[in-house]
Structure 1
Amino acid sequence: MDAISGKFPPVTDGLPPERRRWALLAVFTALAMSALDTAIANVALPAIANDLHTTPADVIWVVNVYQIAMVATLLPVAALGEIVGHQRIYLWGLLLFTVASLGCACAWSLPSLLVARFLQGLGAAGVMSVNTALVRFIYPSRLHGRGFGNNALVVATAFTLGPTIASGILSVGSWPWLFAINIPFGVAAILIGLKTLPQTPRATHAFDYPGALLTSACLCLFIFGIGSAAHNTSLWLVIAVLIGTVVLGALLLRRQADHPAPMLPIDLFRRPVFALSVATAVCSFAVQGLAFVSLPFYFEDVLHRTQVETGFFMTPWSLVVGIMAPIAGRLSDRHPAGLLGGLGLVVLGVGMVLLAMLPAEPSVVDIVWRMAVCGCGFGFFQSPNMKAIMSSAPPARSGAASGLVATGRLIGQTTGAALAALCFGLAGHQGATYALAVGAGFAALGAVMSFLRLVATPRAK
């Protein structure tokens, strides 16, 4: 919204084709960098621990601090984007991510690396919180499904190629190069984005700083509580953390009850299609978290496969997601997201059951085709569901919807990972089978909620 006239600037239905291609290059480059950084950091942990003379237990914080920074700030940064413009949040987030990447490459100790990784997580939150909103404004409405499908394709490709890229870089250089490689791509994306990204509507209300602190603290406590419960932490500590989460959540809801654009978007959750779509997304990513945490342990500890073989077995899931997501995205421009998403989750659930019923000594083919079934279902679900979330929110609330897309993904993955850890704690090596069965249950629940969208009454925008 213009500060002088008090009116929204005209919102065109997407960018012209030539400018659209350059804008997408900028947005998808940053998205790929953010997704790649999660994958490559996992591969680099042993090398980092050895070079910085630290323990495996301590070096895992290189991954954790990045995730915490993202979880804590996604919704507040998305809310800020509705006020100052999504393109500004994207550019400043990408700038911070690029500078922090230089800090990671120059880190001389674990504490210095952790500080740089925290800043990098803040920058990634800036990019990912508004990414989906920018895609909505870059593509014309008739091509939104295709746009969100391409968005999912970029993420899937980054996760698929991440370990291979990391291994290739480590074969010829040291771990700092994993972070230094972000710098030229980040600079190029910033320069392109400055020229091509669309101006988005701006709200006139002030940023709610106390609300932002409450939101960040509530989400961090929630994630910490889930993780603590799964790792046999003191019951009293878990109860205290979860009570603290509820108290902070209640204070946040009370503070923002009359806010025109609440940071935790309770106004959007009053829209049945939006609420069902977010809940379905959390279920789907919980399935992914359960599978991606439990299967490597199953492959290596039960089947006695090597790390290289495990990486090969995990690849079909992400690879097929990358194939199916654009196809499902195009179909969602013509068919209901509730139907496509529900069918995708049914296929995902079937795939999880098939993995849980693997024979005692499965062949490579036995594993690969089952993983491909899961990837097919997950990829067929993602794009239509993303479109449903964004299209069920009014354009002025695209930032909140976009932030919730990323937050829902992290909450689902974290919940799935924690449940997988709980299954291993209760059942030992057999925990992988139980985790896959729980994942099938989440897929079934998500499918039911997706199909309910076919009868839900959408609210007027």
Structure 2
Amino acid sequence: MELFSDKPGDEGLKGRERCLAMLAVMTTTSMAVFDGSMVNIALPQIARSLAISSSDAVLISNSYLLSTAMFLAIFAAFVKQVGFRVQFTMGLSVFTLASLGCALSTSLPMLVGMRLLQGVGAAAVLSIAPAILRSIFPNRLLGRILGVNALLIATITAIAPVFGGTLISILSWQWLFVINVPFGLTALLLTQRAMPRKQTNERESFDVLGGVLSAVMLGAFIMTANSFSHAGEGGISTDTLFTALLYAVVSVVAGVLFFRRQKRVAKPLLPLVIFSSTRFSLAALTSLASFVSQGIIFIALPFLFQNVYGYSAFASALLFTPWPVGIILAAPQAGKFADRYSAALVSTIGLCIFMLGIALLALLPANASIWDIGFRSLLCGIGFGCFQSPNNRELLSNVSRENSGYASGVLAIMRTFGQCLGGAFVGVILAQYALSSHGESAHLQMEAQGVRVSLWVAVTATMLAIILSFTRLKALNKSFKEV
């Protein structure tokens, strides 16, 4: 393969070492991204196994995404202190051991704690994966390998629910985590064999305080929403409101202090200059709103399919299949159109199709057929496939080359934090509807209503993304008027 061929003057590693290092990165990336999505399909089964409510089960998914989002920016900067091999090995080890801990968990607090540790390990490796690929591949192959990595993440995110549903239909939910152990050990061996060491002996200053403030800001913001999922029988109590308000204040204060510090510190954790580009900022916000929608859908639909429609976990997984098919059909064409026309325009059209698909899912009748559900999921996949790659192109192309690493970090944070926030919304909504139910029949009916309300919230979030995306088109107004 050309990716592993050697030519005179090539930077990075030699062909064989390059292949081994790439396999370590790709295997670990696959594990980390899989765990962010495939567990969602098992949430109803895990809830029954641990005898917990649906809203509490959402914490199993959200805790992983939350800790990943909180630590992405920190590890992206911390790698300059220890180097690729040390951080990658530490992150992969934590992730693998925490996966085993998840499989052995017998209670919700233990499982959530292990998921938090998993997220820390995932953040350590995901934050530097593109940078490692850049260091081990020569410049002549850089675009190709980064494209392969982006395709891998998009494909895994889409097929994870299908894989997870297939696995738990054969084995128990614990195997969703056990399967990480052999892959993690293999990746560790490959890492020790071929991962490049630190490039320089000079240590750059690390903004420890900035890292703490960013983690507190993001974590407290999510906990503000999660507070409402623990309302008692009487609904939202004074204590719940006080707790939510406290988290909100902590998030705002930490956010203000973080952004002030980034303006003053010599080596900021996140250079604010990248947000001076309006198109970059709007692309980032559009990505955030769209992934809030995706986070809502990927968590809400398994409860609808399994608890309301009565499908098995395997059948529910098959119902997700049209989504990745839609992405595969649409994404390559969207990329070509984004090269020829406005990337912002292509992504906006994709968002409109995506919103239509979500609305149709929210309007599913009580006796919906598999084909009916599949068509609506396919429409969502086509819309998201049309949106994502052009929007990523818009985001990355509107920062300077020296800040491209930070832009990639922002993109990862928007994706992970958006999915986490979407999951928090589902947890809050399901908790509030569960309070209104008495008896199993009424509970299922109210849960169905809660899922549909969640889907309409996803429609609203997508509408916000459309507005943000459409704002980018103002620069093209003159062209449109001339036409």
Shared fold, TM over 0.5: yes
**Which stretch of the first structure deviates more once superposed, 161-170 or 339-348?**
161-170
> Amino acid of the residue matched to residue 79 of structure 1?
A
> Amino acid of the residue matched to residue 190 of structure 1?
L
| Distance of 1:386 and 1:277 partners within structure 2 | 8
Change (3 A) 1:413 1:111: closer
**Which stretch of the first structure deviates more once superposed, 237-246 or 140-149?**
140-149
**Which stretch of the first structure deviates more once superposed, 215-224 or 251-260?**
251-260
> Amino acid of the residue matched to residue 222 of structure 1?
F
| Distance of 1:99 and 1:294 partners within structure 2 | 29
Per-residue deviation, 1:160:
2.9
**Partner in structure 2 of residue 255 of structure 1:** 261
Which whole-Å deviations, capped at 9, do the CAs of 1:218-258 have from their partners, x for residues lacking one?
A: 11111100222455452222122111111111121222222
Kept in 1: contact 2:63–2:116 (CA 8 A): yes
**Partner in structure 1 of residue 217 of structure 2:** 218
Percent identity of equivalent pairs: 36
Per-residue deviation, 1:421:
4.6
How much is the aligned-residue C-alpha RMSD, in angstroms?
A: 3.9
**Partner in structure 1 of residue 124 of structure 2:** 126
**Partner in structure 2 of residue 3 of structure 1:** none
Alignment of structure 1 residues 196-215 onto 2, 5 Å: 205-215=204-214
Per-residue deviation, 1:260:
4.2
**Partner in structure 1 of residue 52 of structure 2:** 56
Which whole-Å deviations, capped at 9, do the CAs of 1:247-288 have from their partners, x for residues lacking one?
A: 111121222222344334433222223211211111111111
Change (3 A) 1:289 1:126: same
Per-residue deviation, 1:314:
2.9
Mind listing any 5+ residue stretches in structure 2 that lack a counterpart? 1-8, 437-445, 477-483
Kept in 1: contact 2:42–2:164 (CA 8 A): no
| Distance of 1:231 and 1:384 partners within structure 2 | 39
**Which stretch of the first structure deviates more once superposed, 96-105 or 435-444?**
96-105
1:442 to 458, 461, 477: 461
Which whole-Å deviations, capped at 9, do the CAs of 1:372-408 have from their partners, x for residues lacking one?
A: 1101111232233334334434454444333322321
Kept in 2: contact 1:89–1:127 (CA 8 A): yes
**Which stretch of the first structure deviates more once superposed, 115-124 or 367-376?**
115-124
**Partner in structure 2 of residue 187 of structure 1:** 185
**Which stretch of the first structure deviates more once superposed, 231-240 or 344-353?**
231-240
3-state secondary structure, aligned to 1:140? helix
Change (3 A) 1:420 1:60: closer
**Partner in structure 1 of residue 90 of structure 2:** 92
Change (3 A) 1:101 1:411: closer
Task: Figure out how many residues of one structure are paired with residues of the other and give that number.
Answer: 441
Please, what TM-score do these two structures have when normalized by structure 2?
Answer: 0.76
Per-residue deviation, 1:368:
0.6
Per-residue deviation, 1:454:
5.1
Change (3 A) 1:42 1:284: closer
Kept in 2: contact 1:35–1:159 (CA 8 A): no
| Distance of 1:332 and 1:280 partners within structure 2 | 16
* 2:376 maps to 1:376: no
**Partner in structure 2 of residue 34 of structure 1:** 32
Change (3 A) 1:103 1:362: closer
Change (3 A) 1:39 1:154: closer
Which whole-Å deviations, capped at 9, do the CAs of 1:35-75 have from their partners, x for residues lacking one?
A: 33345555667887899xx6426877654543443233122
Kept in 2: contact 1:212–1:263 (CA 8 A): yes
| Distance of 2:429 and 2:102 partners within structure 1 | 35
Please, what TM-score do these two structures have when normalized by structure 1?
Answer: 0.79
**Partner in structure 1 of residue 154 of structure 2:** 152
3-state secondary structure, aligned to 1:123? helix
Kept in 2: contact 1:79–1:399 (CA 8 A): no
Kept in 2: contact 1:215–1:263 (CA 8 A): no
